[in-house]
Amino acid sequence: MPELPEVETIARGLRGVLVGRTIVGVRVGWGNLIARPTVEEFKRRLVGRKILAVGRRGKYLIFSLSGGGSLIVHLRMTGRLLLKNAGDDPDKYDRLVFKLDDGRELRFNDMRKLGRAYLVEDEGEIVGRLGPEPLDDGFTSADFAALLSRRRGRIKALRYAGEFFAELYSAKRALHYAQGVAAL
């Protein structure tokens, strides 16, 4: 599963090439990837929309669209977003393809079929329950300590508790997942 810094890197990389592009077509290779709305509505509502911004909240990639609303993508375990030329051979794991106005395609490639895509009017519907962003300048070690003071258990369990905070970036402190929260 991509960790928070990798998802941030993906968002930054896509921001430079996708902002200002218009989605001219959508091909869904595996319908269960679309969490909401229906597959047909997803395709219909995306065509003709311009990508205004690319961001991230937790491990969710957020594409702000013209006309309001957002496309939200979670890569989960094996998902990848690949920018390809329209004529490039498809990969057998391409589950969702966004055709762009410059002749390229953004392909959601997911071997294990665990990723999800959402098209919503309010991104808070999907990411609103996530806790604070640990990479924000305003998130201090005192904030972190206050959050931990109310928790027990192992660090590993907290890594997957998105409502606790958007992502535990433990590499900074070289923490072992089996340590108790008190070790922090």
Q: How far apart are CA 39 and CA 35, in angstroms?
A: 9
Burial of 132 (0-12, 13-18, 19+ CB in 10 A): middle
| Tokens 């079929």 sit on residue | 113
With tokens 């993906």, the residue in question is 10
* Three-state DSSP state, 53: strand
- List, in sequence order, every residue forming a beta bridge with 107; answer none if it has no partner: 82, 97
Distance (Å, rounded) from C-alpha 138 to C-alpha 135?
8
Q: Tell me 130's DSSP state.
A: -
Whether the CB-CB separation of 131 and 147 falls below 8 Å is answered with: yes
Q: How deeply is 153 buried, as exposed, middle or buried, from its count of CB atoms within 10 A (0-12, 13-18, 19+)?
A: exposed
Whether the bond between 37 and the residue before it is cis, its omega within 30 degrees of 0, is yes
Written as six digits, the tokens of 130 are 């996530």
Would you please indicate which residues are annotated as catalytic (active-site) residues? 2-3
